[in-house]
Amino acid sequence: NLPRWVRFLVPNVCRIVESGWNYYPLTITEYKCSFLPQFSIRIETRFENNNGNRDDVFPDRGLSAEDIDHIDIAFDPFPEKYYRQSEDPVTFRSRRTGRGPLVRDWRASDRPVMCCYKRVRVTCAVYGLQSRLEQLIHKNIRDILLVGHRQAFAWIDDWIDMSVDDVRKFEKQRQENTNHRMMASSDPQSPSGERERESERREYSRSVSMKDELLSSARTDRTCEKPPRKAGSFSAPTE
C-alpha cells in the first residue's frame, strides 16, 4: 500500500526487521529497513490506568501542547476502507460486560479506563525525502492504531477472560504461525508456499490493527527536526 513515489524508490525486495521488548507496562518496538540503513522507527509505549491526563509520562524530554495528539477511538475521523459497523464503538455493546456504546466525552465519565501513551521517533537521514517520509509514517501509524483500538474495544467479549498466561500463549502461537507463513512464502518451489501466497491474496489481513499490542496508539516523532511527540490513545474500559 505504498504510494507511487515510494514504490519508485524502493526495490522490489526490501526487508524490514522488527525488534520488540516487552516490560509491561512498558514496551519498546523498533523497525529498520535494509534499503535505507539510515532510517528507523522507535516506538515507546506505556500503559496507565487513567484517561490520558498525564503530560509527563516520558519525562526525559519535554513536550509542548502541540506535540501531543489525543486519539479518540469513537469520534476521530476514521479511514472508510477499514470501517465495519460491528467494530464501531458508537454503536457496539458488549454482551458479556454490558459496556458500550461510547458517547461524547466518554473519557471523562466511563470507568474503568486505560490510556496507552506512545512516543514514536522517526530517524530519517535521507536528503530530500525526510519530510515526505515522516508525513507518510505519521499518517499510517495513526490510522493503524486507531483501527486497532476500535477493534480491541469491539472484541472485548473474546479477550475479557484471558489471563496473562493466555495472552502469552496466544502471542507465541501467532509468532510461530507468522514465521511458518514467511518461510513457506519465501520458497517459490514450495507448493505450500504457493498456497500461502494465494491465501494472503484472498484473505483480509487484520495485522494492520493487531500488529503490536491490543491497546496502543501513536503520533509520529520528527526527531531530525522537532522534539518527539507523544500520543494518548484511549482504550475501552478494561476491568
Q: Is 4-157+213-234 a domain of CATH 3.50.50.60?
A: no
* CA-based nearest residue to 149, from 229, 227, 52: 52
Rounded to two decimals, the pTM is: 0.70
Cα distances (Å, whole numbers) of residue 111 to 99, 102, 157: 10, 12, 17
Give the pLDDT of residue 30: 95
pLDDT band at 106 (very low <50, low <70, confident <90, very high): very high
Domain boundaries, the chain: 4-157+213-234
Summary mean pLDDT of the chain: 77
Burial status of residue 219 (CB atoms within 10 A of its CB: 0-12, 13-18, 19 or more):
buried
Least confident of 32-41, 76-85, 220-229: 220-229
The conformational region for residue 65 under phi > 0 = left, psi -120 to 50 = alpha, else beta, is alpha
Give the pLDDT of residue 66: 55
* pLDDT tens string 39-87: 889 999 999 999 998 888 887 766 665 578 889 999 999 988 999 999 9
Higher pLDDT, 187 or 162: 162
DSSP state of 222: B
Contact criterion met (CB below 8 Å) for 217 and 116: yes
Give the pLDDT of residue 49: 93
pLDDT band at 8 (very low <50, low <70, confident <90, very high): low
